[in-house]
Amino acid sequence: MKKKNPAPSLTGRQKKYLRGLGHHLDQCLLVGRDGLAENVLQSCDDSLRAHELIKVKLGQNCPLEKKEAADMIAAQTGSHLVQLIGRTILLYRPNRDLPPDKTIHLPR
């Protein structure tokens, strides 16, 4: 997968807002022993395109360190690393193609 252009940076207020939205989300992707294989990154990209805000869980047998994995996923998908708690990563990437009622409207 090609590296995507990074989205504009988020303010602290915007990250706090996204953490609040992400609190009740269930994980949509599990990274296992194969690490960040092409299919995992593609699934992550597809989920971000559909939902903008997703949770990714790193399994116990994931060969990467959690900070390294979080940074790599964010860089490869062009998303923002909003939060890393334990082995759970919260990622955000805006999608202008979603209908207005489905998009996340960040505070300024």
Tell me the domain boundaries of the chain: 28-92
Query: pLDDT tens for residues 18-54?
Result: 999 999 999 989 999 988 999 999 999 999 999 999 9
pLDDT, tens digit (0-9, with 9 covering 90-100), for 49-97: 999 999 999 999 999 999 999 999 999 999 999 999 999 999 999 999 9
The whole-model pTM stands at 0.89
Q: Read off the DSSP letter of residue 99.
A: -
Sheet with 80-85, side-by-side order of all strands: 27-31, 53-58, 88-92, 80-85
Domain covering 28-92: architecture: 2-Layer Sandwich (3.30)
